[in-house]
């Protein structure tokens, strides 16, 4: 009897089961994601071919610079294994739940809200040891279960490379556009070329390349020093037929500001970094 009952349950196309329950839940989440994304005008994924090029720092400052212009901005950190956005933005503590089920992103300012894996951890030093499916699920939840409301821009900080996280973003947010960060080192530029090819393979528009850690001006003598060579980002953009958004100079205030939890673009100023960054933001908004 047990075998017969099991057979009938398996063979009956109308029978309820774990598979159908999962499919139904996935479909409901798809609808919630679609509803959430419809309220967001522009989605920008900040990515890099390799680590150590200042991608998260630029993502944080981009979100701040956009919000400074009166735009409603969300900053989403999908670097699940090494979430640094929370620290850079000075947000901490677990997320609050609103409307019975939605997580409330952390407020950096009136126009800027932030969500990071760090806001889901009881212990900030806890290691995240997950395989692909778990990471995919969390990124989808960052969109479906977070109360973003209406946004002009959603800035997504993706981990380096072309793995599960950026691929999930492209699949979940098909109209997202990529901003690729690099330095002038050849090893970084080689990985940028792979990132551009990744974007083209998944039909993601490359909004442009940003060359970070450009010319450093000595605070004592004022002489310019090219710490990571010069001009490679622009040359790579031309070689790959991708837009070049500009070069951001190396500036000592950027590191200190990030460590203090207040990105340097939240401070009004007229430094070379501010001027270069505002020019890049102008190009992003125009495009």
Tens-place pLDDT, residues 79-97 = 988 889 999 999 988 888 8
Q: Comparing C-alpha atoms, which of 140, 237, 153 is closest to residue 196?
A: 237
Number of C-beta neighbours around residue 118 at 10 A? 24
pLDDT above 90 (res 198) = yes
What value, to the nearest 5°, has the Cα angle with vertex 81 and ends 77 and 85?
Answer: 30
* CB distance 146 to 102 below 8 Å: yes
Tens-place pLDDT, residues 216-236 = 787 788 887 787 778 888 999
Quote the pTM value.
0.88
Indicate the SS3 state at residue 226. coil
Residue 168 pLDDT: 95
Tens-place pLDDT, residues 234-244 = 999 999 999 99
Distance CA 238, CA 254 (A): 28
* CB distance 273 to 54 below 8 Å: no
What value, to the nearest 5°, has the Cα angle with vertex 80 and ends 74 and 81?
Answer: 145
């Amino acid at each position: 009897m047990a075998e017969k009952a099991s057979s009938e349950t398996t063979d009956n196309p109308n029978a309820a089961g774990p598979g159908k329950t999962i499919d139904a839940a996935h479909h409901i989440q798809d609808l919630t994601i679609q509803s959430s994304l419809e309220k967001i005008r522009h989605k920008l994924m900040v990515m890099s071919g390799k680590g150590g090029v200042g991608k998260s720092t630029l993502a944080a400052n981009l979100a701040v610079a956009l919000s400074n212009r009166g735009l409603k901005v969300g900053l989403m950190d999908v670097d699940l294994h090494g979430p640094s956005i929370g620290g850079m933005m000075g947000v901490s503590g677990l997320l609050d739940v609103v409307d019975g089920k939605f997580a409330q992103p952390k407020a950096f300012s009136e126009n800027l809200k932030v969500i990071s894996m760090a806001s889901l951890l009881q212990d900030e030093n806890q290691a995240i040891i997950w395989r692909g499916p778990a990471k995919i699920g969390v990124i989808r939840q960052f969109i479906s279960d977070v109360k973003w409301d209406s946004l002009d821009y959603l800035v997504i900080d993706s981990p380096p490379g072309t793995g599960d996280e950026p691929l999930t973003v492209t699949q979940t947010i098909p109209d997202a556009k990529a901003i690729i960060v690099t330095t002038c080192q050849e090893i970084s530029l080689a990985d940028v070329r792979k990132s551009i090819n990744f974007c083209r393979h998944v039909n993601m528009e490359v909004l442009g390349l940003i060359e970070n850690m450009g010319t450093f001006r000595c605070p004592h003598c004022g002489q310019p020093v090219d710490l990571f060579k010069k001009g490679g980002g622009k040359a790579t953009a031309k070689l790959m037929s991708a837009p070049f958004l500009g070069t951001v100079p190396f500036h000592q205030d950027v590191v200190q500001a990030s460590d203090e939890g207040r990105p340097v673009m939240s401070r009004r100023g007229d430094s070379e970094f501010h001027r270069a960054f505002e020019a890049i933001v102008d190009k992003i908004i125009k495009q």
